Amino acid sequence: MIRDITIGQYYPTYSIIHQLDPRVKINGTFAFILSIFFVGNFYGYIVAALFLFGTIRISKVPVKFILKGLKAIFMILLFTVLLNMFLTPGENVLLKAGPLTVTDKGFELAIFMAIRLIFLIMGSSLLTLTTSPIQLTDGIERLLSPLTKIKVPAHEIAMMMTIALRFIPILLEETDKIMKAQMARGADFDSGNIIKKAKSLIPLLVPLFISAFRRADDLAMAMEARCYRGGEGRTKLKELIYERKDFIAYCILLAYFVMIIIV
């Protein structure tokens, strides 16, 4: 389950999506997430699905690799669906079991919320899967660069966000190793009630936090050893310059957004 989380991982391959300017992909991800909240009917979700799966096909990232990231949010997804299904009032009652009732409005809202969460996770995962950490840092820094006029440390913010994303798969792998080591010593993370399960996580969380702090300290020492002093006066190996394919991508994104608003 832990290895199935795809957010924060990078899938190296040769595709048009990988070659796009990171600013295009960051803006496109935010625009896609925003468009999901504008969708209010079945036809809007069809348009969003065609756009999402078409982008995944062009990116050459296997759909199964992205879909397996949904396993980690299955319980959250199930809880959200049930919550909307049983607590949303409506005129027509489809099912009644004691105090719980399922209406047509609640069933429709539950389906739409499930699709919305799935699309959000898949769209966010596609950003990190097609953008290397260095490109992601440069893209976020350039997008935040206008804020430097009001003394906002754009480079430092971009660096922190990228390091946080990069540490997600590392910490998940470390968690998996610690869990297997504790299970080999007789630890049980599955049986018992909620309180017992919470107590059983202590042997997992303590070494995980120690390992995380150790990695953070090693990273800080490595950055200091390389004379890192922030973004002021630093040059870049590759400057971000918009090309023809980036403007075409913006046009496609604008056409998609207009279509979402229309339907």
pLDDT > 90 fraction of the chain, expressed in percent and rounded: 13
pLDDT score at 98: 67
**Rounded to whole angstroms, what are the CA distances from 91 to 63, 103, 147?**
39, 7, 50
Rounded distance, CA 72 to CA 4, Å?
7
Round the average pLDDT of the chain to a whole number and report it. 81
**Smallest Cα–Cα separation from 219: which of 150, 139, 164, 258?**
164
Reported confidence tier of residue 178, pLDDT bands at 50, 70, 90: confident
Q: What is the pLDDT of residue 50?
A: 92
Residue boundaries of the structural domains of the chain? 1-131+238-263, 155-232
Q: How far is Cα 246 from Cα 240, in angstroms, rounded to an integer?
A: 11
> Which pair of structure tokens corresponds to residue 229?
């002093």
Q: What is the pLDDT of residues 240-262, one digit of tens each?
A: 888 899 999 999 999 998 888 88
pLDDT of residue 7: 65
**More confident call, 166 vs 224:** 224
Tell how many helices (H) and how many strands (E) occur in the chain: 11, 2
pLDDT of residue 3: 54
pLDDT tens digits, residue range 191-205?
766 677 667 777 778
pLDDT at 239 over 90: no
pLDDT number for residue 220:
85
